[in-house]
Structure 1
Amino acid sequence: MLTVPKSTARIGKKVFKFQVAVIASILLLSNFSSAWGQRQPVARGNLKKPVCKPVARIISGDLRRVAGSKVCEEDRLQPVAGATVEVLCYLSGNILNVSGGAIGKQCSSRSQTQSQHCTSGIRGDCLKVKGPDDENVPTLIVPYSPLILNSRPSLSWTAIPGAISYIVQIEGTGVNWSKEVNSISLPYSKEQPAMQPGNIYQVNVLAKMAEQKFIASQSILMVASLQKAEQTKAIIERIQNLNLPPDELAVDIESVYKGQNLLTEAIEVLKERVKAKTQNPTIYRLLGDRYLNVGSPEQAMREYKMAIQYAKLRGNLNELAQAQAGLKLLLQSQLPTRTNPDQK
């Protein structure tokens, strides 16, 4: 078992203690994402009047709408007498049984951008503005957020100039292993026990420099409880049974993961649609939002720019406005954190 030199281990200790205190909040707080349908392409520059913002999708039980229909805040539901309508609420990512009447009263959208729901200091809920020393440590990138479903996640981190190699350590209930690698990524060891649901694990990443010096960072991971995992899976299966188009399915599944604070999984489902070369601006805008959530500004900027490009191409004013707002926030956050001599 490789060990962290005591002097080095102290580098990230303050951050680790803060993150441990924060993990309970991550399980309780939910930031919310809005969902948008696919639209037919229109001529570039032909921006149409904004349509209403969907706040939910009908699962079953509405007399006037078929399963899979999207509804906006002012739309009224009409269930069978004495029954309720099952809807996927994009705000919470949960399937709810709601009574008749305006859906907005029971499944409100409050569709601000993710940054407007930001709770300062919580990784996974806020835009993380880099400090002057953030680029000097091997910061864990993947998983993107502390709460995950995969008990054997792949790991990746930022590269450190001049590093000879990297040492990765994972410690926690039933797990205590380390490995030295020459790359900036590492699959979870198949020979080692998996992380257990509901437990917190400390992940140390050390950059080995010349003269046996180390630069270290510490992060935490927590596998979601079995109950949370099963609940999430059940909701997703209900959505999959609607046989939605691929992009709409991805947007809905993303809302479920986001509602459960499973940001790593939310990002991955959107990335699959990007790999499929979708031109739906919603996919790119949501991916920008999620990268913004986890403190990856370069990736967020790339996705927002793609969202703006495709929103203009499709004449989607709603997505254009949201992507531009996200990009503006991102640019405002990239102000210098320290003054160089030539900036005075």
Structure 2
Amino acid sequence: MLIVPKSTAQGERKVFQLQIAAIVSILIFSNFSSAWGQRPPVARGNLLVPKCEVVARIISGDIRLAAGSEVCSKEDQLQPANGATVEVFCYANGNILQLSGGAINEQCSQTSNNQAQFCIRENRFNCFDTKGPEEYENTPILITPYSPLILNTRPTLSWTPVRNAIGYIVQIKGTGVEWSKEVNSTSLPYPKDEPAMQSGIIYEVNVLAKMTEQEFIGKSSILMIMHADKAQQAKAIIERIQSLNLSPDNLAVDLENLYKANDLLTEAIEVLKERIQARTQNPTIYRALGDRYLDVGLPQLASPKYRIAMQYAKLRGDLNELAKAQAGLELSLSVGR
């Protein structure tokens, strides 16, 4: 009989216990990532990089990928049951598609209306009309809503300050709406005692800076509430995405892609800002917010988000997001000069 010294046996038991604990930890992490539809990263040397460029999310119907799983642009092949289709949410067009199978990049195109990423790819530094304070320091430029097309029928209005202004007059005119309010600040919640804006109607927004000697400096903008049928379609897609029980960050990414595809940049920005206020450390959230700020002409707000995205991307070893954030930062600094 082989007699193992007590100290050796105890050491082997400790090693065995550590090995079991490590295996359990790996399994838990793997299951956790799958449960949230998020792929674990792949180790390459000392770096962790994403396995793919995510372009869609499984809603239902794939026999290999569970509902909520991310879908890669090149690596993934959709596999529906015989005679059935796979439901996927396409990031590029913001729609839920019924696909018969095959490579996702052939059916869910990566081409989108992402102006920031287009300008970054094409190295076009004259893509944006900026709302920076230097160019418009003597004109009140509407900041929020960030984009002309919105969902909220009673948005908060804000604008750039005008040097030496002693107050501001805000006016909205359009079908069923015509009001004027005077304020001393550079923001105004939509008045509760005024009728809400209606869907499908273009409204003119005037912001006038009151100067001394009855002088006024003004700037006009337009707002439009999304058509009711389009808004209902977007709401239905949002409900399907929410039913997947995604992590808060993944849900925000999907909603941001939906809003972006429908030119609802105000809503896209707000959903990303909510995650940042919740102190997320996801570089995608910060980088996407930088992109949206560029899209609406606010490079001075985009640059800090890109810098934070770079920090978190380095911590995660996410080379894809690091490259996107670096390119976005260069562009934001160039157009913001």
TM-score where L is the length of structure 2: 0.82
Alignment of 1:53-68 (within 5 A): 53-68=53-68
Residue 127 of structure 1: aligned partner = 128
Per-residue Cα deviation, 1:101-127 (whole angstroms, up to 9, x for no partner): 111100022489633536xxxxxxx53
Residue in 2 that maps onto 1:246: 248
Instruction: Describe the superposition over 1:147-205 as per-residue Cα deviations: whole angstroms up to 9, x where unpaired.
Output: 00001111000111111110000000111100000111001111111111000000000
- Asked if 1:90 corresponds to 2:91, the answer is yes
Q: Which amino acid aligns with 1:217?
A: K
Is the Cα contact below 8 Å between 2:39 and 2:70 reproduced in 1?
A: no
- Equivalent residue letter for 2:326: Q
Distance (whole Å) between structure 2 residues aligned to residue 76 and residue 249 of structure 1: 23
Aligned counterparts of 2:113 and 2:173: Cα–Cα separation in 1: 38
Aligned to 2:322: 320
Taking a change above 3 Å as real, the CA distance of residues 37 and 333 of structure 1, as seen in their structure-2 partners, is: farther
2:305 equivalent among 303, 306, 309: 303
Shift of 1:39: 6.5
Residue aligned with 1:222, SS:
strand
Q: Distance in 1 between matches of 2:195 and 2:67?
A: 43
1:114 aligns with 2:115: yes
Tell me if the contact between 1:128 and 1:292 (Cα under 8 Å) persists in the aligned partners: no
User: Aligned equivalents of 2:245 and 2:284: distance in 1?
Assistant: 19
Q: Distance in 2 between matches of 1:114 and 1:191?
A: 37
Letter paired with 1:252: D
Asked if the contact 2:93–2:261 (Cα under 8 Å) also holds between the matched residues in 1, the reply is yes
The answer (yes or no) to whether the contact 1:145–1:263 under 8 Å persists in 2 is: yes
Find the aligned partners of 1:137 and 1:319 in 2 and give their Cα distance. 36
Three-state SS of the structure 2 residue aligned to 1:137 is: coil
Contact map agreement 1:39 1:314 (CA 8 A) in 2: no
Q: 1:197 to 1:110 in 2, by over 3 A?
A: closer
2:149–2:226 contact (8 Å) kept in structure 1: yes
1:138 Cα offset (Å): 0.5
User: Equivalents in 2 of 1:258, 1:185: separation in Å?
Assistant: 25
Q: Distance in 1 between matches of 2:281 and 2:40?
A: 10
Aligned to 1:262: 264
CA distance in 1, matches of 2:86, 2:267: 28
**How many aligned positions are there?**
290
**What is the CA–CA distance in structure 2 between the aligned matches of 1:138 and 1:147, rounded to whole Å?**
20
CA distance in 1, matches of 2:145, 2:326: 27
Unaligned runs of 5+ in 1: 1-35, 119-125, 336-344
Match of 1:47 in 2: 47
1:153 aligns with 2:155: yes
Task: Supply the distance in 2 between the matched residues of 1:68 and 1:261 (Cα, whole angstroms).
Answer: 24
TM-aligned CA distance change 1:133 to 1:301, over 3 Å: closer
CA 1:130–1:181: 2 relative to 1, 3 Å: closer
CA separation of 1:46 and 1:303: change in aligned 2, threshold 3 A: farther
Instruction: Tell me how large the CA RMSD over aligned residues is.
Output: 2.1
Q: Which amino acid aligns with 1:220?
A: I
Amino acid at match of 1:53: E
Amino acid at match of 2:57: R
1:8 is matched with which residue? Answer: none
Equivalent residue of 1:151, what SS?
coil
Please say if 1:282 is aligned against 2:284.
Answer: yes
User: Contact conserved, 1:143 with 1:153, CA < 8 A, in 2?
Assistant: yes
Deviations 1:265-299 (A, max 9, x none): 00000000000000000000000000000011111
Q: Secondary structure at 2:310's aligned position in 1?
A: helix
CA shift, 1:133, in A, is 4.2
Which runs of 5 or more residues in structure 2 are unaligned? Answer: 1-36, 120-126
| C-alpha distance in 2 between matches for 1:219 and 1:72 | 40
Counterpart residue type for residue 234 of structure 1: A
Which protein, 1 or 2, shows the higher relative CO under an 8 Å CA cutoff with sep ≥ 6?
1
